[in-house]
Amino acid sequence: MPVIAIDGPSGAGKSSVSRAIAERFGWSYLDTGALYRALTLFALENGISTLDEIPGRLADAKLHWNGNPQTPEISLAGRVINSEIRSAEVTAQVSLVAANPAVRIFLLGMQREIINNAWPGIVVEGRDIGTTVWPDAELKIFLTADLQARAVRRSAELQANLSDSDVERSLAARDRIDSTRDFSPLRQTEDQIVLDATHLSFNEVVSEIIDIIGELKLANDDGKHGR
* Residues making contact with ligand DC (CB under 6 A): 10, 32-33, 36-37, 94-95, 98, 126-128, 174, 178
Nearest CA to 117 among 7, 184, 30? Answer: 30
Q: Which is nearer to ligand DC, 33 or 226 (CB)?
A: 33
Q: Which is nearer to ligand DC, 10 or 192 (CB)?
A: 10
Q: Residue 125: which residues within 8 A CB-CB, separation 6 or more?
A: 5, 6, 7, 14, 15, 17, 18, 30, 31, 32, 33
> How far is 30 from 221, CA to CA, in rounded Å?
24
Q: Which is nearer to ligand DC, 94 or 206 (CB)?
A: 94
> How far is 22 from 120, CA to CA, in rounded Å?
10
Q: Which is nearer to ligand DC, 33 or 121 (CB)?
A: 33
Contact 10, 175 (CB under 8 A): yes
User: Shortest Cβ distance from residue 201 to ligand DC (Å)?
Assistant: 21
User: Shortest Cβ distance from residue 71 to ligand DC (Å)?
Assistant: 18
User: Shortest Cβ distance from residue 37 to ligand DC (Å)?
Assistant: 6
Q: Which is nearer to ligand DC, 92 or 194 (CB)?
A: 92
User: Shortest Cβ distance from residue 206 to ligand DC (Å)?
Assistant: 18
Q: Residue 173: which residues within 8 A CB-CB, separation 6 or more?
A: 95
User: Shortest Cβ distance from residue 94 to ligand DC (Å)?
Assistant: 4
Burial (0-12, 13-18, 19+ Cβ within 10 Å), 177: middle
